[in-house]
Structure 1
Amino acid sequence: MAIAQLPSIVIDCPDPAALATFYGTMLDWKVELSPGWADIRTEGNCISFQQVEDYTPPEWPGQKVPQQMHLDVIVDDLDAAEAAVLQLGATKHEHQPGTSFRVFLDPAGHPFCLCVD
């Protein structure tokens, strides 16, 4: 039996509503907003966003300000998904270390990857 359950992953950011809207739209999950906090949800899954004063985005792939986590999301078509996340406000990172995935920065500067199986 599990000791605990994972109700959500929490991501620090300067604007929880903006980042939740970005990921909620990308994943087609429900967005729930509160002051200084936001959640995106789908059946059995939740990602939360917490407002942090003086937020500093990670510098990837460098480690001066290291990433502490990132999301990998599975897509059917890398080119179509890339166009869609760029339209939402993502930035494609200049460093692309693989061919079966692409690295982007969300609007708060967190790296995330679009991946194909």
Structure 2
Amino acid sequence: MSEAMLEHVNVTVKDPDATAEMLNQLFGWHVRWRGDAKYQGTTLHVGGADSYIAVYSSGGNDPVNFDRYKTPGSMNHIGVVVEDLDAVEAKVKALGFTPHNHGDYEPGKRFYFDDADGIEIEVISYV
């Protein structure tokens, strides 16, 4: 029996097109699919050949009013592995985001940033 593989995560964002474009610019991904979704919303599947992030919006713009690290059922962050950590960090800064929480410990180097919707993204390199 083969090992299970994570195919996707689905996150709610204000503007799925803007989030998809940001992910494409940072990680070289592409929009795999776009379509109608729950509550008259729209979802874009953004990623590569084997996995993706589904970015969804039904047009709501309510702020997040909880601490995701203290609320059961919350997503804490999305981790993305890259080859060139410094190049991606430069892209993150060029898009106006602030990298934080840099770490260099086993099994790799990493930093985090919060996107326009407050979703924390961890960028990791094992090189």
TM-score strictly above 0.5: yes
Structure 2: state its 5+ residue gaps.
37-41
CA separation of 1:40 and 1:97: change in aligned 2, threshold 3 A:
closer
Q: Does 1:13 align with 2:13?
A: yes
> 1:110 maps to what in 2?
119
Could you tell me how far apart the structure 1 residues matched to 2:65 and 2:76 are?
10
Report the Cα offset of residue 110 of structure 1. 0.5
The alignment partner of 2:45 has SS state of strand
**Identity of paired residues, percent?**
25
The answer to whether the Cα contact below 8 Å between 2:68 and 2:76 also exists between their aligned partners in 1 is no
Aligned partner of 1:45 among 36, 51, 57:
51
Cα root mean square deviation, aligned: 3.2
Q: Which has the larger radius of gyration?
A: 2
Q: Larger relative contact order (C-alpha < 8 A, sep ≥ 6)?
A: 1
Q: Which runs of 4+ in 1 moved over 4 A?
A: 4-7, 57-64
The answer to whether the Cα contact below 8 Å between 1:22 and 1:89 also exists between their aligned partners in 2 is no
Aligned positions, number:
113
> 1:74 maps to what in 2?
81
Q: Deviations over 1:41-74 (max 9, x none)?
A: 321222111115134348778648x951321122
Structure 1: state its 5+ residue gaps.
none
After TM superposition, the score normalised by the length of structure 1 is 0.72
Could you tell me how far apart the structure 1 residues matched to 2:67 and 2:87 are?
24
